[in-house]
Structure 1
Amino acid sequence: MLFLLSLFLVRWNNLIEQEKITALKYYQEISELGENQNDIYRRSKCHPDFPNWMKNIDDQRNIMDLSIPGTHESCARFGYPIAACQSLSLYEQLQRGVRFFDIRCRHINDVFTIHHGPIYQKINFGGGVVQVFVDFLKQNPSEIIFMLLKPEYNEESCTRSFEETLDSYIEDYESYFYLDESAGESGDITVGKVRCKIVLFRRFEKNLPKPLGNQIIFQDNTIFTSHTSIVARVQDCYLVPTIFHISRKWNEIESLLNEADVNSQKIRSRIVSHSKSRFVQHKYNQPRRESRNILFINYGSGTGVLCFPGEVASYINPLLGERLTNNDNNFVGVIMFDYIEDYFDNLIANIIIRNFDSIEELFARN
């Protein structure tokens, strides 16, 4: 056992060292890019932490029945105003309650560095993503992390395939990954099955014979359905050429929100609602709603030549916040935000609360 532990440490440390060497070799100029200028954003006044909000969710619940806060370009904090999409680090997002992450990896020198387009985000996949996720799960074993992985920018100086490099990262932490590609067919990906794991979804084909998570086949700039080992319904209409096109983006977001609600089923009544800045309890007889074995992913993000991510978020986040507040019992699936803590209070909590029957139930476990 001691020998295996030593072997793991050597392998992992070698991989992390290779990431550092690659970053120094390839990104000396890019590393001078400024971090996202947080002070220009209207930060949320209220941002409670929810590090273990999944603790008492029934083990038999299907993961597709959960309403989950997520972030688009989860690691993109550099290259403002064009490339930056978040103000919080991965760890801060996890602490706040974000559980669905959009991770973009450039395959370079047989390691993964994190990019948004051509812009290096000053962290790497092993030390900056996998290690952060695993450490968080060790501290909060009740939680589930969903990772949507996409190859980004051009490949350079590699001797193996993207999936082979991914496998090298997973190898020593395989017990923390859920990689099954078939369970979705029968709809039995339950919360209990994937607690304390990183559930991997991928946006690429693979040739390796071993499982590497369920694939979601994306279509460009549209609302679409992906039929693989799971069914995913996705709104990713990311192109917002100017500020005058943001209203069209909102219509596309609302369209999938309505579809998710219509396709959900009534489970049981709940007794809580909340205002946009703090939670207010009252009784009513609306049912909590959950999906019918479809993974809904709704991107609130967008960008264009004359309209950058922050501008889109400044318009979309308040509209989403109001929609969530006014329809507080509705199932929403996964919503992917840019600047998830900006422009509207309690966006994360507004999504989390839908998975519980009362406000006390949520706060008692955190």
Structure 2
Amino acid sequence: MGSLLSKQVQRRKAIKTEKKTLCELHDSCGEMYPGSDYRPADRKNWMAGLGPEKVHINKIVWPGTHDSATNKIGIPLITRPFAQCQSLSIYQQLVKGTRLLDIRVNENRLVCHGILTTYSVDIVVNDIKKFLSETESEIIILEIRTEFGHEDPADFEKYLEDNLGEFLIHQDDHVFEKTIAELLPKRIICVWKPNKSPRPKPGSPFWNATHLKDNWIDTDLPSTKFDSNLKHLSEQQPVTSRKFFYRVENTVTPQPDNPIVCVRPVTRRIHGYARLFIAQCFTKGCADRLQVFSTDFIEDDFVDACVGLTQARVEGKC
């Protein structure tokens, strides 16, 4: 019991130190970067606002959500706080400006996060179709994967093609160099990541796991995650030189050996430092590598931070 208590005391000290480290970095370096003062007039149509004929796919900084469809997961006040990473519906996230969705499914086509489940993937699909029907030039990256420990849902590619086929941008490396206008009326880059089923092949309506990569760091220590994100990002090629999307997640994750295991209070340790991260990308010389930037509990300012950098790229300011 004594060693366990000692371990927890040291853990709390480490968290406090790392929170202080990020706070001091923010105070000393700030969060200014090219485009940081830009605010889209209409987040629902921010890609249209930048000019679809000017915005190349590989210049976009995609605001993404982590575990996107968990707004109603589990039982309220009981299991939900341990798995909920977003409080908004998929439609609400898209209206707010989210352009990458992270959807995990099980063999029953239910959205899940670990062992907890929520609504059918039909809800996700219907929300996406509603958003697309209300906009004209917004492109979405839709990542769907079979959750770890679950079986692939049967005939899932057919299900997705039957429901979203008219919007799907087929797998093609040339897409990265094209403008939004050149891809329209197609609107969705769908990355399907099954556990056991064959991965989608070139020319397929679906993209595979090699087209959306990240370096997931499973920690609840905010400065550790922040620094690791910078390190891994700096090891990537510039966005104009690669044929895949690379994701950085501005999140930290509850750990089973720590008393605080609810998502929101843990992820808040890093949540407010998205702009600092982008600014540090410029300081460290790796801003030309930033592409997909995801978060828990997405907010307007996070979207604006990504859109601002996208606008600066499109206008040749960086």
- Aligned: 1:255 with 2:204: no
Q: How many residues align?
A: 257
The residue correspondences of 1:42-81 to structure 2 (distance < 5 A) are 50-55=43-48, 56-59=50-53, 61-77=55-71, 78=73, 79-81=79-81
Note if contact 1:106-1:115 (Cα within 8 Å) is conserved in structure 2.
Answer: yes
Equivalent residue for 1:133, pick from 123, 128, 137: 128
Cα distance in 2 for partners of 1:233, 1:118 equals 24
Greater relative contact order, per chain length (Cα 8 Å cut-off, separation 6+)? 2
- 1:215 and 2:212 equivalent? no
TM-score w.r.t. the length of structure 1 is: 0.61
CA shift, 1:177, in A, is 1.8
SS of aligned partner of 2:117: strand
Query: What is the distance in 2 between the residues matched to 1:186 and 1:132?
Result: 25
SS of structure 1 residue aligned to 2:67: coil
Cα displacement string for residues 320-355 of structure 1 (whole angstroms, at most 9, x for unaligned residues): 2323357689442101111122xxx71110111112
Contact 2:111–2:120 at 8 Å: present in 1 too? yes
Aligned to 2:305: 350
Q: How does 1:185-200 map to 2 (within 5 A)?
A: 187-188=176-177, 190-191=179-180, 192-200=182-190
Q: Is the 8 A contact 1:203 1:215 kept in 2?
A: yes
Given that residues 60 and 310 in structure 2 are in contact (C-alpha distance below 8 angstroms), is that contact kept between their aligned partners in structure 1?
A: yes
Query: As a proportion of its length, which structure holds more strand?
Result: 1
Identity of aligned residues (%): 20
Compared CA separation, residues 167 and 189, structure 1 to 2 (3 A): farther
**1:119 maps onto 2:113 in alignment:** no
For residues 195 and 328 of structure 1, what CA distance do their matches in structure 2 show? 34
Amino acid at match of 1:249: K
Q: Retained in 1: the 8 A contact 2:252–2:269? A: no
Q: Mean alpha-carbon deviation: is it higher for 85-94 or for 247-256? A: 247-256
The 3 A distance-change label for structure 1 pair 48 and 75 is farther
Query: Residue 135 of structure 1: CA displacement?
Result: 1.4
Please show how residues 15-164 of structure 1 align to structure 2 within 5 Å. Answer: 50-55=43-48, 56-59=50-53, 61-77=55-71, 78=73, 79-108=79-108, 112-121=109-118, 123-126=119-122, 128-152=123-147, 162=153, 164=155
Greater shift, 132-141 or 315-324, is seen at: 315-324
Q: What root-mean-square deviation, in Å, do the aligned CA atoms of Structure 1 and Structure 2 show? A: 3.3
Is contact 2:252–2:270 with CA below 8 Å preserved after alignment? no
Give the match for residue 316 of structure 1.
270
Structure 2 unaligned spans of 5+: 1-38, 74-78
1:216-255 equivalences under 5 Å are 216=209, 226=210, 230=211, 232-237=212-217, 239-240=218-219, 243=220, 245-255=221-231
- Contact 2:62/2:291 (CA < 8 Å) preserved in 1? yes
- Contact 1:61 1:190 survives alignment (8 Å): yes
User: Unpaired segments of 5 or more residues in structure 1?
Assistant: 1-45, 217-225, 265-289, 361-366
TM value normalised by structure 2: 0.69
Amino acid in the other structure paired with 2:44: P
User: Counterpart amino acid of 2:111?
Assistant: I
Q: Quick check: 1:302 aligned with 2:252?
A: yes
For 1:136, the aligned partner's letter is F
> Residue 131 of structure 1 aligns to which amino acid in structure 2?
N
| CA separation of 1:308 and 1:256: change in aligned 2, threshold 3 A | farther
Secondary structure of the residue aligned to 2:86 is: coil
